[in-house]
Structure 1
Amino acid sequence: MSELIVREALGERRFTATDFPIAVGGQGSAIVMAGRPEGAEAYLGLHEDQLFVQPADGAEVLHNGVPVRNSTWLRSGDVINFGAARLRLLAQRDNQRVVEVDDGSSGNITAPPIIDPSSRLAGGGEDDAERIDALQFRPTGQVQARPGATLDVKKIVIGLAAAIAAVVLWFIFTATSVAVRTDPAEAVVDIEGSLPALRFGDRVLLRPGDYLIKATREGYSPAQLQAKVTDESNQSFSLKLQKLPGRVRVDVPTQARVTVDGKVLGDAPGEFTIAPGKHTIVIAAARYQPFSGELEVMGEGKSQTYKPQLVPAWAEVTVTSEPAGAKLLVNGEERGVTPLTTQILAGNHPIELQLEGFKSWTTDVQVKANEPMSLGPVRLGLPDGKLALRSEPSGASVSVGGVYRGQTPVSLELRPDISHNVVLTLPGYEAATRQISLAAGENRALSVPLSGVFGEVTVQAQPADAEVFVNGKSVGAANQKLRLVATTHDIEIRKTGFVTYKTSITPRPGVSQKIETTLLTPAQAKMAQTPALITNKADQQLKLMPLGSFTMGSPRREPGRRANEAQRNVQFKRPFYMGVSEVTNGQFRKFKSEHRSGIVGQHTLDLDNQPVVGVTWTEAALFCNWLSQQEGLPPAYENKNGRLVAVQPLTTGYRLPTDAEWEWAARYQGGGKFRRYPWGDALPVAPRSGNYADVTARLLVQDVIPDYDDGFAATAPSGRFPPNPLGLLDLGGNVAEWVHDYYTVSADSSEVAVDPTGPADGKQHVIRGSSWRQSSVTDLRLSARDFGDSQRNDVGFRVARYAE
């Protein structure tokens, strides 16, 4: 048969011998029958150009009305039923077979009656004979012999052979060829399962099902895997056997520690179990140089010996002396008497020879591993004399024959029977010289008084009752003249409640010197040590503000006064810095690059050197937190319930100036005086005193200052106008400024508020200072207070922070 033609409702399909077996059933099958469950219910097979049908496991298939469970040959006219669906095998034509598919959807088709298989097999005639031939492909049941039949042994043997052949053919046609490979390939493979396996080289015929595949080989650990065999082609399974570890005996001449691949295995000589392959072995043994090498282990449970060549870490050193019999010490350890050969580890070692009645001899020797060396003969000399030298005062430098030998008190060893020139020097004292000669082994003590050289130092200090200490010793009250030895002295001036003043001075004969100081309180000292000017990561300068107290607000009768300018006494105790200028667009865009301050009329507000505007109080506070983060400072603001609020107590991080700090810095004039306006205490507006609503702003604002021209209709670049007495810019004019405090209206109070930070809660924040939009007396005053909760094109901000 060259091909099988399948006729379906939508046309014909053609299958060749390579397409078999062909699955028949529901969705997913090669021939799909309408209304059938998903998956194959039977397979059409081809053997020696003869078609057969094989039901799938558990499927109900009828062949010419007879239920079938095994493979069954097909002939022309046969009908195969799958529920309401059918296959009909039409007559063969031109070496082609035709199968017509009827899925039962086109009307009723007469089906052959369902016949009990046993009744059909018991009948006679040609039809029955043909049916028996077709059934030889599947397992057969018991068939009753025909009456009168005689037993023929030959026929029985032939029948058994045919049955066996049919079973073998059934197994071959229904089994799957599976490849089983092992590494190494010489392993013995055993397959366990409910059905037998036929092997052909490295391939095995197996019926679909579950199997346990095992592989063994001497010297390897057994391997196994659970395999699920299906009817798919080209299935393969691989098993890799692992070599067993090897037994390695490490043979060394002394006890040593063995390390393989960084893991300590134990002490050698000894035997170790090591995984097969290449390894790095390290051997550490006392008195031997560290050894490192490559070890290749055969594995497979085999034994091998590894014998490294350890190199000694010592050498033999021979020492001789004249006279002989001197005691030899190496690193302070006694080794014996000369002449002597001893083993010394490689490296630098101090060696000493001692013999009673002779001077000890010492040297350092550099020993190289495994290289013998000799010392001597060493000639031992007579013992030195010993001089115990003291001076008054002590600490004098001593030199013998021009060579420095230490400071008094000192013990000197001098060559015997020779005159030595001994010189003692001490700053502020005259040098002293002595000629000393000692006999061999003589011990002598000598004390030398030193004559001082003096200078005068006058000490003046405030407070006058402060106490003066010289080199830690009290010499009385300040404001006195001291006579001191002409050497360096440590001077301290102390008084309770003040920071101690410390200095050093070296008096000089004939030259009068003076120490003059005013003691500071701890607070004054801390302020003195705090930098007056700092620069932050946004290139902004901040100045340290003076501390003090003032009356905040304005008197009730001051022209232009508002009701929110209540007077109260404020004192500043905590040092703080204030930004010299307002934050510019360029500086703010380092934090928020997309910010734009906009334009007003035909005038831009967005140049890098113009003050930033169009920012909310929250954006200004977030900029402060960002700046603190850049410098590793604790943030001054935190998020609580979706709102940005001040951390309590306030940290040293960057923040907005408080309402009180802003007014203190803006009105401060020095000498206990405070300004009413940015330029002074009276109107009119002084020329070039700031950027206000001037004649150039007539097209932008309704009210302007008559006859005043500052040169800028809107915002001016930072720093275009003179600073105030504290060196701060634009506290009046240019832009108004957000400050730290929540806005509130309070009554006048006589109580002193120390470092106030405003109300604990509120809805709006205070705005201080006049801007380019303002011209009225009310707004130009430095005590004026505004408020808001949204951005404006004339409101910006400057930063502040506590110094500690």
Structure 2
Amino acid sequence: MNASALQEETLIVREPQGERRFGAPDFPLGFGGAGSVVVLSGRPEGVEAWLGVHEDQLFVQPAEGKDVLHNGLRITQSAWLKAGDVVNLGNARLRVVEDRGQRTIEVDDGSAGNITAPPIIQHDARLRGDSDAEAEPIAAVRFRASEGAARKRTVTFNPTRVLLTVIALIAGGVLWFVLTATSIGVSTAPVKARIDIAGGLPAVPVGGRFLLRPGEYTIRASSPGYAPAEIKVKVTEAANQQFALSLAKLPGMLSIQVPVEAKLSIDGQEVGSAPGEFELQPGTHTVAINAPRYQPFSGTVEVEGLGKKQVFTPALVAAWANVTITSEPAGAQVIVAGEQRGVTPLTTEVMAGNQPLELRLEGFKAWTTDIQVKASEAMTVGPVRLGLPDGRLALRSEPSGASVTISGVYRGVTPLDVEVRPDMEQSIVFSRPGYEPATRQATLKSGERQTMSVALTGVYGEVAVRAQPADAQVFVDGRPAGNVNQTLRLVATTHEIEIRKAGFVDFKTTVTPRPGLPQVVETKLLTAEQTRIAATPAVVTTKVSQQLKLMPLGRFTMGSPRREPGRRANEAQRDVEFKRGFYVGVREVTNAEFKRFKSDHRSGIVPPNTLELDNQPVVNVRWEQAAAYCNWLSEQEGLQPAYVKDGESLVPANPMTNGYRLPTDAEWEWVARYSSDGKARRYPWGDALPVAPASGNYADYTARVVLQDIVPGYDDGYAVTAPVGKFPPNVLGLYDIGGNVAEWAHDYYTVSTDSTQVAVDTMGPAQGKNHVIRGSSWKQSSVTDLRLSARDFGDVQRNDVGFRVARYVQ
């Protein structure tokens, strides 16, 4: 391993503490005790052996006066090292390992105490020979300073000897190159090209081939008119190696010449406009030319390439023809496709195809026609005999819009200007739906102008317009006609009737009055919200098959009067109005429905009765669990959640969304106490005690085994919760609105005082700790709790509190 080799690779010394890598600048390496490059544990201070390299070969040399064993043989001078050799320094051992070209010195300093010392082989003549480690002294590298400077030698310079030496070296080099080079052949297509070879020693051309030393080369070929070609090759010692290069023709320049500027496409791609020059690859190309006033051209051209320039002059075919036009009398203005060309007689270029032609001459009737022109085929039109002008008749009617026929031919609707043949009596009929037809006669001279006006007589019918509110206005065909609740006399034609009032949605309809047949238009205007609600589904269903009903809007007094028996202080009275449409769940949420959201929930038991049946209402849920369930329902349908995160808690969204939520305090009481007669109910079954039979699940006779206080004489058959919907619904179709379980409401709980202010779509206080609980449960029996105005509150779960869901329409 010489110095240059060690620039690319390293020697690894693997010690008990790890590996180190050494390159050429690190040699020689000292092995021994303290002060050595590689320190061996337990060895005396100083270097015991040197490790060196000479011409890619490792060797070991003992330090002066040190005992070093090489493969068990004590050495006194340098010894070559090869894979598997072992060097011992006392108890320490160095072993040479080579794996895939990587040399490693494995060092065992003997500290483990398990090294077997090799036998010491005494020097003997029998051991000397080719295999003797000391047979060949190594003096190429010295590691110790010499004891004295060598004497200088005097060299005499001899020019002749130097020249002969150089010639001999050159001759030897040439001979060496010829004897060791490989002959290769290089061919090119489609033409013979100049060859250049780069890389390694220069190539020597010999008889159409090249002599090269084995190695990697780049072969380049070049020829006028062709793009240079290049390949990278690896030349080996094999005989008759052959390499081929293919040269491609250079593009050519195609000059396209046309008489006018035109759009140009080559091989289906737009490339600009002609005339012009275009660089194209050799081969056949399709050229398409679109020039104004010429027929489209398409053809092929063969491009030679080789950097040459070619001229292509396609023969474009004119897309027009010469048209000669004459008239009697002459001097008429000629107009072709709206463009004035001159006066007759006239020869003009007209584009191929169907073209409108018009002749005009003062004092004569205009003459128009269409002519079919073929490209490059001349044609003649005329002589055209121009006639005297028609009479011109201006027709008007009141009202306008009457259809006009002249001599049995329909000519349009009034107001109308028409030409009529002169000196001939014309019969003119005006007709309009809802009016009697009117007939007139007229005779005009050539060029004469007349105006004829007709007042049409209407045919009427009666239409009664009735609507609420009574102060709404009626419009007929967009014109105001006074307030509603009147009878209109209208022409017997179709009219648009519109009824309007600010704050209400307009009503529109059409009506066609009939003489002697009175008609009625009747409606009730609705506000925008009422209209929207009228179009809103009465029932919606969640993804888990829960039904919610659309609740009526209106206004009521929430709370209870101060003298009502059982009233609590938190039942303050105030007026509440509902303007925003909302839905409320028909039934309370069941265990099965809640477990779709939270599968590990347990409602519990009231020994010996269970609260866990699938169709029983879910209980033992906190308010936030009920709100999270509502958000889960919203996510199933892509609705915006009604509750948002605030730290670790859920709070109502502001503004409130149309996602699923809990009914508000006011909504719950509105739908619970709703009555068709407008009087708010006191109890779920009516306005007075006792509890009506089978009216709901309250603390009854059956529950006496688990409760102390029960409703006297009442038995609903359930000691604890009953299946939801087991008892009849209220007037709005809601089940268990009283009894079974009390229900979480949306609002934070607060105690307020009576107020005369109207709360519209109230969502309750903005913050708080507890939440409102509404409705009685299976545990309650007192007059206070059974009333629908009773309010409770809490912030923990109970085994008699569940919930139902609600949501806004929009």
TM-score interval w.r.t. the shorter chain?
0.5 to 0.7
Answer whether contact 2:289 2:297 (CA < 8 A) is retained.
Answer: yes
Shift of 1:384: 2.7
Where in structure 2 are the equivalents of 1:111-510 lying within 5 Å? 115=139, 160=169, 164=173, 188-189=195-196, 191=198, 196=201, 205=213, 246-258=252-264, 265-273=271-279, 283-288=289-294, 301-305=307-311, 314-316=319-321, 318=323, 323=328, 325=330, 327-336=333-342, 343-345=349-351, 349-356=355-362, 358-364=364-370, 382-459=388-465, 470-471=476-477, 480-491=486-497, 504-510=510-516
SS of residue paired to 1:665: helix
Distance 1:504 1:599 in 2: 65
- 1:675 is matched with which residue? 681
- 2:763 is matched with which residue? 757
- 1:535 is matched with which residue? 540
Q: Is 1:708 matched with 2:719?
A: no
What CA deviation, in whole Å up to 9, does each residue of 1:616-675 have, x standing for no partner? 544544554566567776543333334332222324444332111111111121433112
- 2:41 is matched with which residue? none
1:547 counterpart letter in structure 2 = G
- 2:558 is matched with which residue? 551
Q: Is 1:725 matched with 2:731?
A: yes
**Structure 2: tracts of 5 or more residues without a match:** 31-49, 63-67, 74-80, 94-119, 121-132, 143-151, 236-242
Distance 2:773 2:343 in 1: 96
What CA deviation, in whole Å up to 9, does each residue of 1:192-211 have, x standing for no partner? 7xx74568989965899xx9
Shift of 1:734: 4.8
- 1:740 is matched with which residue? 746
Query: Structure 1 residues 106, 351: CA separation in 2 closer, same or farther (over 3 Å shift)?
Result: farther
Distance 2:405 2:328 in 1: 33
Shift of 1:275: 7.1
Shift of 1:311: 6.5
- 2:670 is matched with which residue? 664
Distance 2:592 2:376 in 1: 72
Answer whether contact 1:321 1:380 (CA < 8 A) is retained.
Answer: no
1:455 counterpart letter in structure 2 = G
Shift of 1:411: 1.2
Answer whether contact 2:571 2:790 (CA < 8 A) is retained.
Answer: no
Q: Is 1:81 matched with 2:86?
A: no
Distance 1:586 1:158 in 2: 109
- Which of 392-401 and 257-266 deviates more? 257-266
What CA deviation, in whole Å up to 9, does each residue of 1:267-294 have, x standing for no partner? 3111134578998876543234666788
What CA deviation, in whole Å up to 9, does each residue of 1:208-243 have, x standing for no partner? 9xx9998866557779999999xxxxxxx9999998
- 2:109 is matched with which residue? none
Distance 1:86 1:188 in 2: 62
Shift of 1:577: 1.0
Q: Is 1:800 matched with 2:806?
A: yes
- Which of 410-419 and 347-356 deviates more? 347-356
- 1:6 is matched with which residue? none
SS of residue paired to 2:773: strand
Distance 2:691 2:381 in 1: 100
SS of residue paired to 1:678: coil
What CA deviation, in whole Å up to 9, does each residue of 1:81-139 have, x standing for no partner? 16789999x9xxxxxxx967424247699867653689xxxxxxxxxxxxxxxxxxxxx
Q: Is 1:766 matched with 2:772?
A: yes
Answer whether contact 1:568 1:751 (CA < 8 A) is retained.
Answer: no
Identical residues among aligned pairs (%) = 48
SS of residue paired to 1:760: coil
Distance 2:255 2:69 in 1: 77
What CA deviation, in whole Å up to 9, does each residue of 1:342-387 have, x standing for no partner? 5544665443343555543434567677888887776755533221
Distance 1:527 1:116 in 2: 107
Q: Is 1:640 matched with 2:646?
A: yes
| Among candidates 87, 90, 97, match of residue 104 of structure 1 | 87
Answer whether contact 1:87 1:99 (CA < 8 A) is retained.
Answer: no
Distance 1:472 1:632 in 2: 43
SS of residue paired to 1:673: coil
Shift of 1:420: 3.1
Where in structure 2 are the equivalents of 1:488-637 lying within 5 Å? 488-491=494-497, 504-515=510-521, 531=536, 533=538, 535=540, 538=543, 540-552=547-559, 555=562, 558-559=565-566, 565-582=570-587, 592=597, 617-618=623-624, 620-622=626-628, 624-625=630-631, 634-637=640-643
- How many matched pairs? 709
Query: Structure 1 residues 213, 622: CA separation in 2 closer, same or farther (over 3 Å shift)?
Result: farther
Answer whether contact 1:542 1:579 (CA < 8 A) is retained.
Answer: yes
Shift of 1:550: 0.9
Query: Structure 1 residues 246, 493: CA separation in 2 closer, same or farther (over 3 Å shift)?
Result: same
What CA deviation, in whole Å up to 9, does each residue of 1:712-741 have, x standing for no partner? 975535x55443223434323455433221
Query: Structure 1 residues 751, 465: CA separation in 2 closer, same or farther (over 3 Å shift)?
Result: closer
**Structure 1: tracts of 5 or more residues without a match:** 1-19, 42-55, 72-78, 91-97, 119-141, 230-236
Shift of 1:410: 0.9
Answer whether contact 2:704 2:719 (CA < 8 A) is retained.
Answer: no
Answer whether contact 1:277 1:298 (CA < 8 A) is retained.
Answer: yes
Distance 2:556 2:780 in 1: 29
Answer whether contact 2:294 2:317 (CA < 8 A) is retained.
Answer: yes
SS of residue paired to 2:766: coil
Answer whether contact 2:603 2:618 (CA < 8 A) is retained.
Answer: no
Shift of 1:401: 3.6
Aligned CA-pair RMSD: 6.1
What CA deviation, in whole Å up to 9, does each residue of 1:240-274 have, x standing for no partner? 99986543323334212345689865431111345
Shift of 1:341: 6.2
SS of residue paired to 2:672: helix
Query: Structure 1 residues 742, 442: CA separation in 2 closer, same or farther (over 3 Å shift)?
Result: same
Answer whether contact 1:26 1:33 (CA < 8 A) is retained.
Answer: no
Distance 1:365 1:189 in 2: 72
Shift of 1:470: 4.6
Distance 1:218 1:603 in 2: 101
- Which of 109-118 and 265-274 deviates more? 109-118
2:557 counterpart letter in structure 1 = F
Distance 1:646 1:292 in 2: 73
Answer whether contact 2:404 2:429 (CA < 8 A) is retained.
Answer: yes
Shift of 1:785: 3.5
- Which of 681-690 and 430-439 deviates more? 681-690
Answer whether contact 1:245 1:273 (CA < 8 A) is retained.
Answer: yes
| Among candidates 641, 652, 656, match of residue 650 of structure 1 | 656
